[in-house]
Amino acid sequence: MMVSSEVKLMMKLLIKNKVSFAGFIIVLTFIFVGILAPFITPYPADARGWVFHMNQRLLPPSWKHPFGTDEFGRDMLSRVILGSRYSLIISVSVIGLALLIGVPIGLVAGYLGGKVGSALMRIADMFLAFPPLLLAVAMAATLGRGLRNVIISLAISWWPWYTRLMYVQTNSIKTMPYIDAAKVLGLRTPTILFKHILPNAITPVMVQAALDMGSAILEAAGLSFLGVGVKPPTPEWGLLVTEGWASINRAWWISLFPGLAILITVLGFNLMADGLREITDPRLRRLLISRGGRI
Amino acid sequence: MGVSREYLIQRTLLLFAVVLGVVIIVFIITRIIPAHPELLWAGPHATLKQIEEARKELMLDKPIYVQLYYYLINFFKGNWGVSWRTHRPVFDDIINYLPATLELVTVAFIIAIVVGIPLGVLAAIKRGSWIDAVIRVLSVTGASVPVFWLAMIAQLIFSSKLGWLPGFKRVDEIVVLETGFRKITGFILLDSLIERNWAVFIDALKHIILPSLVLSVYPMGLSARMTRALMIEVLNEQHFRASIAWGIPKRTALFKYALKNVIAPVIASLGLSFGYTLVGAYLVELIFNWPGLGYYTAMALLSYDYPAIIGSITFVAIFYTVINMIVDIIHAAIDPRVKL
């Protein structure tokens, strides 16, 4: 099948590109830690945050607390580890929700074309007219703080990207002979859309979506910093950085480590993306294949 | 050159449509989604009387299309409500805070171009070497780093610990008072140049270094990456190979012929990254107490000053749309390959 050979080629080229492969490993580690987080935190109660240790406030990094402790004496390593789970939840849900809204709209707009199609696309464009993050800030300021509202706010500002991608894909596929054949055979439009066009159009959208997870983590952190993100004491990385800000001159470690966690994770996604973008660029890909996949 | 009058008219009409769309989306978010818009509008410490006034002001007892009509009328009149934090009209506040942000973003873009493009050229020439790999990782890092965190760390190291550069505000108020500096345009660097007030100019320059460097990290990485990709393309093209074969020195060929083909699209792509940089400024300004639009919005967010939050976000969205249109037109004018 067309789809799997595309994916195979990508994986092959990804592994051959050292920098992208490093990104791939970072992403795998992040997902692994995110899933296992509740079982591997040294101090699970500190990680969840509903505790207060008066006698160990603002301790610098040590063997007992490698990332130090915060204003309330909580172990920062535990909080950063559990934070990976929140970042994973946020990024997967935001991208998933954005796909659920964006893909069907793009599919229908691309297939129908004409006035309905372009009207749908104009609506998507209006959402894209907002600079990144700001629409989510407006939504989050309206809905209030909390994990669920962060996810909704980010997804609302995210779906049009997938609508656009899906629209372009659908447009190029709908003129193919096998779609005409399906029409002639009298298949219903939803069947053609979801059984014949969607599976063949979705690969680039899914690749883009997987790579966008890093940006979702970054934007969720931005929302937290502006005070419209998750509620304390949720150990979301952006909120951890923000909480350390007030005492950064006395205790630099509180902000430093969660920030590094964001940087490394997002870097992982983006390095992977960087390699893949070169590869998904057909001109460069042809060049790569002709040179045996070396960059 | 390549821009026709029809294109300009078409783009302007499109601009109006998009601005209208943006305002309607904001209307939906602020009036239709919340169950009690008047509570948000009046703020968390509002009295019953103030809430009642907000209800009247927003005309919540009228049908939704009447609300939308008056919303649009007020919007285009510049009547954007009153911030209850500053007790001033939101629109006036925005105009007051705008120059600081524009100054910061402009300096960040200049740094991004001046440093990013040479890095990209270097990476393209040394393609596949360790220099290329380092530049690549650095440029991707620019897009991956949480900018507010970088701002905190930079401020901590270079301002609080080492004391090399000031870490707060745009200029030292004492220097301003001593030299009798007056604001003309609100762009301090520009104003002090016009007045030949070197003390203020140097002080303002010192103040802008840290925040603009932090802010330039993303566009710098982007311009390095774009330059690298485009340079590689140009280096492989026939005309470049021909010029080498013709005996033109490689350095001349690179900087005179190859780079010329690269700079316009790189700057166009930087224009498209304007939105990200603007949002970066939102986060950076809060750290550096930089009195710009981002600082204003962030303070509004922290104190639930809803009219100010929504007003400034709408303003920035429209500003961003206009900038995008200008970038498109300039791009079309300098690059005939862009399809109109």
pLDDT digits (tens, 9 = 90+) for A231-270: 888 899 999 999 988 888 888 898 999 999 999 999 999 8
Whether residue A131 and residue B320 make contact (CB cut-off 8 A), yes or no, is yes
Q: Is residue A1 part of a domain?
A: no
Give B46's Cβ-side CA count (13 Å radius): 21
Highest mean pLDDT of the ranges A5-19, A228-242, B52-66: A228-242
Q: Please indicate, yes or no, if residue A10 is contained in any of the structural domains.
A: no
Evaluate if residue A111 carries a pLDDT over 80. Answer: yes
Query: Distance from A86 to chain B by nearest Cα, in Å?
Result: 16
| Least confident residue range of A30-34, B16-20, B332-336 | B332-336
Q: Please identify among residues 225-264 of chain A the ones whose CB lies closer than 8 Å to any CB of chain B.
A: 225-228, 238, 241-242, 245, 248-249, 252, 255-256, 259, 262-263
For residue B37, say if its preceding peptide bond is cis, omega within 30 degrees of 0: no
Query: Dihedral, CA atoms, B131, B134, B140, B142, nearest 10 degrees?
Result: -100
**CB–CB contact B29 A139 (8 Å):** yes
Partner B contacted by A104 (CB < 8 A):
no
Instruction: Spell out a b/e string for A57-92, using b for 16 or more CB atoms within 10 Å of the CB, else e.
Output: ebbebeeebebbbbebbbbbbbbbbbbbbbbbebbb
Q: List, for residues B165-218, the tens digit of each pLDDT value.
A: 887 877 777 777 777 767 777 777 777 777 777 777 887 788 888 999 999 998
Judge whether A6 lies within some domain.
Answer: no
B313 vs A222: CB contact, 8 Å cut-off?
Answer: no
Are A68 and A60 spatial neighbours (Cβ–Cβ below 8 Å)? yes
pTM of the model: 0.87
A5 touches chain B (CB under 8 A): no
Picking from A56-60, A82-86, A248-252, B247-251, which range would have the lowest pLDDT averaged per residue? B247-251
Supply B80's token pair. Answer: 């954007």
Q: What is the CA radius of gyration of chain A?
A: 22
Residue A260, token pair as written in the block: 């590094």
- State the CATH number of the domain containing residue A181: 1.10.3720.10
With a CB cutoff of 8 Å and minimum separation 6, the contacts of B51 are B38, B39, B42
Question: How far is it, in rounded angstroms, from Cα B36 to Cα B51?
Answer: 10
- Residue B302: HSE in the Cβ half-sphere, 13 Å Cα cutoff: 11
Taking the CA of residue B251 and the nearest CA in chain A, the distance in Å comes to 24
- State the Cα–Cα distance between residues B123 and B299, nearest whole angstrom: 41
A134 touches B at CB < 8 Å: yes
The mean pLDDT value of chain A amounts to: 85
Query: B143 and A270 in contact by Cβ < 8 A?
Result: yes
What is the torsional sign of CA B213, B217, B218, B221? positive
For residue B225, list chain A residues with Cβ-Cβ distance below 8 A: 274
Of A141, A267, A295, Cβ closest to residue B128: A295
pLDDT at B303 over 90: no
Q: Can you say whether residue A132 is alpha, beta or left, with left for phi > 0 and alpha for psi between -120 and 50 degrees? A: beta
Determine the distance from the C-alpha atom of residue A224 to the mean position of all C-alpha atoms in its chain, rounded to a whole number. 16
Contact A182/A192 with Cβ under 8 angstroms? yes
Residue A139 sits at the chain B interface (C-beta within 8 Å): yes
Distances (CA, A) of A279 to A267, B236, B340: 18, 18, 28
Secondary structure (3-state) at A174 = coil
Residue A291 has pLDDT above 50, yes or no: no
Which residue type does B265 have? P
Residues 6+ apart with CB under 8 A from A249: B156, B160
* Side chain identity at residue B71, one-letter code: Y
Among the partner residues A133, A249, A270, nearest to B279 by beta-carbon distance: A133
pLDDT of amino acid A84? 92
- Residue A153 inside a domain? The answer is yes
CB contact under 8 A, B313 and A137: yes
Across A157-171, B27-41, B216-230, B237-251, least confident range: B237-251
- Closest CA of chain A from B257, distance in Å: 22
Amino acid, res. B222:
L
pLDDT of residue B216: 93
> How many structural domains compose chain A?
1
How many Å apart are CA B139 and CA B119, to the nearest integer? Answer: 9
Instruction: List the domain range (segments joined by +) for residue A239.
Output: 15-51+67-290
Q: Within 10 Å of residue A46's Cβ, how many Cβ atoms?
A: 27
- Structural domains of chain B in order of their starting residue, each with its CATH number: 1-85+307-340 (no CATH), 91-302 (1.10.3720.10)
C-alpha A157/C-alpha A97 separation (Å) is: 11
- Determine the residue of chain B that is closest to A243 in CA distance: B149
Which of A65-74, A153-162, B72-81, B323-332 is least confident? B323-332
Assess if residue A3 is contained within a domain.
no
SS (HEC) of chain B? CCCCHHHHHHHHHHHHHHHHHHHHHHHHHHHHCCCCHHHHHHCCCCCHHHHHHHHHHHCCCCCHHHHHHHHHHHHHHCCCCECCCCCCEHHHHHHHHHHHHHHHHHHHHHHHHHHHHHHHHHHHHCCCCHHHHHHHHHHHHHHHCCHHHHHHHHHHHHHHHCCCCCCCCCCCHHHHHHHCCCCCCCCHHHHHHHCCCHHHHHHHHHHHHHHHHHHHHHHHHHHHHHHHHHHHHHHCCHHHHHHHHCCCCHHHHHHHHHHHHHHHHHHHHHHHCHHHHHHHHHHHHHHCCCCCHHHHHHHHHHCCCHHHHHHHHHHHHHHHHHHHHHHHHHHHHHCCCCCC
B196 versus A192: the higher-pLDDT residue is A192
Which residues are within 8 A (CB) of A274 and not within 5 positions of it... i.e. 6 or more apart? A19, A20, A23, B136, B140, B225
Contact partners, residue B100, CB within 8 Å, separation at least 6: B170, B186, B188, B285, B290, B291, B292, B293, B295
Q: Which of A23-37, A126-140, B189-203 has the lowest mean pLDDT?
A: B189-203
Residues A69, A76: contact at Cβ < 8 Å? Answer: yes
Give the distance from residue B5's alpha carbon to the nearest chain A alpha carbon, in angstroms: 23
Q: Which residues of A touch B269 (CB under 8 A)?
A: none
Which of A139, A150, A270 should we substitute to test contact with B (largest number of B Cβ atoms within 10 Å)? A270
**Residue A250 DSSP class:** T
Give the per-residue pLDDT at A206. Answer: 85
User: CA-CA distances (angstroms) from residue A18 to A39, A293, B336?
Assistant: 32, 11, 38
Mean pLDDT for chain B?
82
Enter the tokens of residue B199: 């003390």
Lowest mean pLDDT among A131-140, B79-88, B100-109: B79-88
Q: At what angle do helices A253-280 and A2-16 cross, to 10 degrees?
A: 120
CB A242 within 8 A of CB A145: no
Q: Is the residue at A167 inside a domain? A: yes
Within a domain: A61: no
**pLDDT computed for residue A278 by the predictor:** 60
Tokens 């710009």, located at residue? B292
In a domain, A89, yes or no: yes
Please give the residue of chain B at the shortest CA–CA distance from A283.
B233
